[in-house]
A = this chain, B = another copy of it.
Amino acid sequence: MLDPDAARRITDAVDAAFDQQLEFTAELVRHPSLRSAEASAQNLMVAQFQQRGLSVDQWTLDGDSLSTHVGYGPTTVDFEDLTNVVGTYTAPEGQEEQGRSLILNGHVDVVPTGPEETWENHPWDPVVKNGWMHGRGVGDMKAGLAANLFAFDAVQAAGFSPNATIHFQSVVEEECTGNGSLAALQRGYTADAVVIPEPEENMLVRANVGVVWFRVRVSGKPTHVREMASGFNAIDAAYSVMGALRELESRWNAERANHRYFEDVDHPINFNIGMISGGDWPSSVPSWCEFDVRAALYPGIPAAEAWEEIQECVRTTEFGAAVSAERTGFFSEGYVLDEGSDAEATLEAAHQETFGSALESFTTPGYLDGRVFALYAGIPALVYGPVSEAIHGFDERVHLESVRRVTKTIALFIADWCGVTERSQ
């Protein structure tokens, strides 16, 4: 453990630079890093890495390589638009590398805004009101991306140099496939622990679900509306298929007692119908309808197994012959953060120091890139981050006092986990 004086110097340094941190967070939000449009935000990250003297690795995701991985999410976009950035810190010359290495991960991609006019403030023009910063992606997770960097700054500003390697990862594709973090792992980035400051209400994620994305297409024989009874209405049929999927969702939820950490979660398995389109003429009975589904699965269930069950479900509906389903993104298992790791103990101590209360862990029914590190590299994945509201919604916002404390926690975690050497003045 750090001595109390060192800890105080580090957390004071977070306070001292906090205005700058918020300024940078807002700057990140001003770059609308929607899927396949992350380039300008990634360039901003590169500039930040360079300013800090980190060695920078920027590369385009490789579909051929990714697609061989069991955790790969089939993609519907061009890989050439998808670039990861990693900035790496190594202990200065003369300082022996001796602590435990660390990945500080965050995703730069954000989800669409929905109709912008529904936002109280413009989604790409962040404002601070009553202690919250508002904007698309500010909670999920640009505040976290900034916290990783400014936590590191605070350690250095307090006069310390970490003793171990730290990789700062700014990845794409977290909101749709998880291929960004997967590509970083495939490129060879590993460490003794990873911290991902997703918006988790100042808590640690103990377990989370896997997620499968798929598109269901219903297609049949259209006709003039005057003969409506003789035509197959794909929009009506789509709704019927949705009903069958809802029944599968219910069955899976009913099994939660059999899944450790999910026993008491109210509705851990959510099937979300997130997009729909169908038909081409109001007076023609629609011949096709497509809808996009995000389904969740418990840790320990292979995505392929869940996918089999989903396909069986849509095939055996009344309209089975007219229905097809294809994977369109996430194809991921869930994970559990094993209790009792050194990494978790280190985070607990840091959190206790900054919040003055014990770190709580919880189970989240959302996807997290933590699974990449946990499942495929055995790295303790600490997903821990600030209080937010309305992520994926209108008026997304993050609580600034929470961001401040989370940043302090990460800073103390860096110092304790990696070890630090006091620089001579």
Contact = CB atoms under 8 A, between A and B. Distances in A.
A329 B222 CA distance: 21
Interface in A275-306: 275-289, 291-294
Interface stretch (A19-27, A82-90, A362-370, A397-405): A362-370
Contacts of A211: 283
Contacts of A391: 223-224
Contact of A111 (B115, B231, B283): B283
Contacts of A114: 222, 280, 284, 287-288
Contact of A392 (B176, B284, B393): B284
Given A225-B272, A229-B267, A267-B229, A282 B289 contact: no
Contacts of A293: 282
A270 interface: yes
Copies of chain A in the complex: 2
Interface in A162-220: 175-176, 211, 213, 219
A293 B353 CA distance: 60
A270 B390 contact: no
A226 to B, nearest CB: 4
Interface residues of A, number: 61
A139 to B, nearest CB: 10
B282 A393 contact: no
A366 B286 contact: no
Interface stretch (A8-16, A99-107, A232-240, A414-422): A232-240
The residue among A112, A140, A219, A233 with the most chain B CB atoms within 10 A of its own CB is A112
A252 to B, nearest CB: 14
Contacts of A228: 267, 270, 272
Contact of A282 (B222, B284, B292): B292
B274 A284 contact: yes
A273 interface: yes
A247 B37 CA distance: 45
Contacts of A69: none
Given A114-B287, A282-B293, 7 more contacts: A111-B281, A112-B280, A176-B282, A225-B294, A226-B365, A273-B279, A274-B279
29 contacts: A111-B281, A111-B283, A112-B281, A175-B281, A222-B392, A222-B394, A223-B392, A224-B366, A224-B391, A224-B393, A225-B274, A226-B270, A226-B364, A228-B270, A229-B266, A235-B273, A235-B276, A235-B291, A236-B273, A274-B280, A275-B278, A275-B280, A276-B278, A276-B279, A276-B289, A281-B392, A282-B328, A282-B329, A284-B392
Interface of A: 111-112, 114-115, 118, 140, 175-176, 211, 213, 219, 221-226, 228-229, 231, 233, 235-236, 239, 242, 266-267, 270, 272-289, 291-294, 328-329, 364-367, 390-394
